[in-house]
Amino acid sequence: MALPTHIRQAPTPQELEYITGEIIVAIEPLFRMEKVRLVSGVYGPFRPPIKTRVPLWLAQSLKLKRKCRIVPPDWFTVDFLTIRLQQETSQVELSKMPFRYAEISKVLLDVAPDDIMDPDKIRILLKDIREARQAKCRSLLLGLDGSYLPTTNLCSMEISEIRLFFSRAMGIIEKLTLEAPQEDEAMSDS
């Protein structure tokens, strides 16, 4: 979204999804072609059923034209996501997830649900993981002090969501911290 810098708060989910398009994924092409030279690199050769690695935006485009099958990442399974959901609900800290898991998941579930085993279950697990992680992010923000916020294992979408609140809160805490010593000095001088 092209907004002036004083209005722009953080990247929108659509902008994060666009940025995610550069992530390399595996596809199984359904056509034959030699290597393709693009600005972002050289990809191919495309020979079914041999897998090849391409940027997500190219995989998305080929999938929409029914020219490939997208191979989901290793972490995009019911078993992996079930384990992560159990960790999210049983541990205090955030579990380790791929940095752009939310954006990749959205693209794959929107464009290639037929390439994913049990997409409805995966969609539900991702929603539950997201809700658990959002609750943990809110509790992290409650523990905000003027110098430190533990942000281990935050993902890009979560960082984008809390960025505005966090930066404003840190600004207010800084002002309060600077004003407090001045008030103490004024009281001791009286």
**Model confidence pLDDT, tens digit, residues 36-78:** 999 989 999 999 999 999 999 999 999 999 999 999 999 999 9
Q: Are strands 24-29 and 52-55 parallel, antiparallel or unpaired?
A: antiparallel
pLDDT top residue among 110 and 180: 110
**Model-wide pTM > 0.85:** no
Rounded to whole angstroms, the Cα distance separating 54 from 80 reads 24
Element (H, E) at 29: strand 24-29
Rounded to whole angstroms, the Cα distance separating 105 from 110 reads 8
Residue with tokens 């800290």: 93
